[in-house]
Amino acid sequence: MTTLRSTHRVVIVGAGLAGLRTAEELRRADFDGEIVLIGDEPHLPYDRPPLSKAGVRGENPDTTFQPLEFFAEQRIDLRVGLRAERVDAVGRTLALSDGSTLAFDELVVATGLRPRHLPGSESLAGVHVLRSLDDSRALAAAANPAGRALIVGAGFIGCEVAANLRSLGMDVVLVEPQAAPLAAVLGPEVGGRIGRLHVDKGVDVRAGVGVREVVQADGRVRSVELSDGTQLDVDLVVVGIGSAPAEAWLEGSGVRVDNGVVCDAQGRASAPHVWAVGDVAAWTGANGAPRRVEHWTNAGDQARVLAAALLGSDTTLSHQVPYFWSDQYELKIQALGDVDAADTVHITHEDGHKFLACYERDGRLSGVVGAGLPGRVMKMRAAIMAAVPMTEILAPSA
């Protein structure tokens, strides 16, 4: 059953990875109607992972996904520098920041996330967040090898920024309220290992500590007081305390949001003809609960399922094994499967900072995390899909 016809207009709001991939998938599936892709940034759609890696080092990586000609060739009406401000889900129109109104037959919300700021420090010189290309360029311009940087929050972005500012020679302090970097996502055992990696590279890692106050003079950050009372003079602060779904513009539309646009297992939101994909979307998982996933591979996987669903197919994500990675110093840290900080962790291989951690839930393998061992990580895919009993994984091979 095909729901879309060639006379239909699909409007995608958010010209990032998920939005672009949805447009591409629709064309690949021979959808012949109109596709409008709206993005509020002034750039062609670009890739974010390099922003916290080569971008921080000032290497100005080319992150553009597709050249301008691609959009003309594919008949994707790309409109950048334009923000969607409101939706009338019943009348099926969007109000845009240039004052115009755009009608849609199907609306795909792909607006990603907005980074959280430390309250009161939003407009302070020397305090940065990192989500966009412009953020990355501003941070790279502010990095000073002779200075000291404080990174607030040791999630993936905080850890990557710490690694790259350190590699530029900066004195780096990484503060994290949890017991170890990345502990909230990967658990304390693996988090502790990643913390030791940073310490060995010369980062001053302070776990169990937050920021009490950012002290400024003349509109610029000068020092920071930590929750344990420590005062640190700093040249640069990078706030990596997470991001929130960019969903405020849906207020009053009747589209249900609850830490993300709540969707079924194919990306349908609560209002007819409205869909959501990527970081902003909370798709219903196998356990029946909506869940947001803030990783690159997920955006593309969801875009494929959503585009197929728009065209009448009933495929879901169920055959996909979740995957994400993070590059820190010379190590690629990879997570395959549904790893959870509360799972029991078994280290099955280690060699210096390299390791393979197997995650156990209800006696079975739920996923693996590896550092510097990409081959070993990927070999576990079939065992993760089969949820092999942990005893089999841990049994000494004959």
Convert residues 301-330 into a mask of x (bound to ligand FAD by CB under 6 A) and - (unbound): -----------------------xxx----
Q: Does the protein bind ligand FAD through residue 39 (CB under 6 A)?
A: yes
63 CB-near residues (< 8 Å, 6+ apart): 46, 47, 48, 50, 51, 55, 133
Q: Binding pattern to ligand FAD, positions 122-141, x when CB under 6 A? A: --------xx----------
Q: Shortest Cβ distance from residue 87 to ligand FAD (Å)?
A: 10
Binding mask 61-90 for ligand FAD (x = CB under 6 A): ----------------------xx------
> Contacts with ligand FAD: how many residues (CB under 6 A)?
37
* Cβ closest to ligand FAD, residue 297 vs residue 348: 297
Contacts of 329 (CB under 8 A, 6+ apart): 163, 167, 197, 201
- Nearest 10 degrees: CA dihedral of 216, 219, 221, 226? 40
Q: Which of the ranges 26-34, 182-190, 292-300, 343-351 carries the binding residues for ligand FAD, by CB under 6 A? A: 292-300
**CB-based burial, 67-90: b 16+ in 10 Å, e otherwise:** eeebbeebebbbbeebebeebebe
- Closest contact distance (angstroms) between CB of 116 and ligand FAD is 12
Strand ranges across the sheet with 93-96: 84-88, 93-96, 101-103
Closest CA to 53 of 326, 236, 238, 239: 326
Which among 109-117, 310-318, 370-378, 390-398 is the span making contact with ligand FAD, rule CB under 6 A? 109-117
96's tokens: 């845009």
Distance CA 160, CA 157 (A): 5
Q: Are 276 and 110 in contact (CB under 8 A)?
A: yes
Nearer to ligand FAD, 18 or 186 (CB): 18
User: How far apart are CB 277 and ligand FAD at their closest, in Å?
Assistant: 7
Distance CA 48, CA 265 (A): 25
Whole-angstrom distance, CA of residue 279 vs CA of residue 110:
8
In the bound complex, what is the minimum distance in angstroms from residue 278's beta carbon to ligand FAD? 2
Nearer to ligand FAD, 209 or 298 (CB): 298
Binding site for ligand FAD (CB under 6 A): 13-19, 38-41, 48-49, 51-52, 83-84, 110-113, 130-131, 157, 246, 249, 278-280, 294-297, 299, 324-326
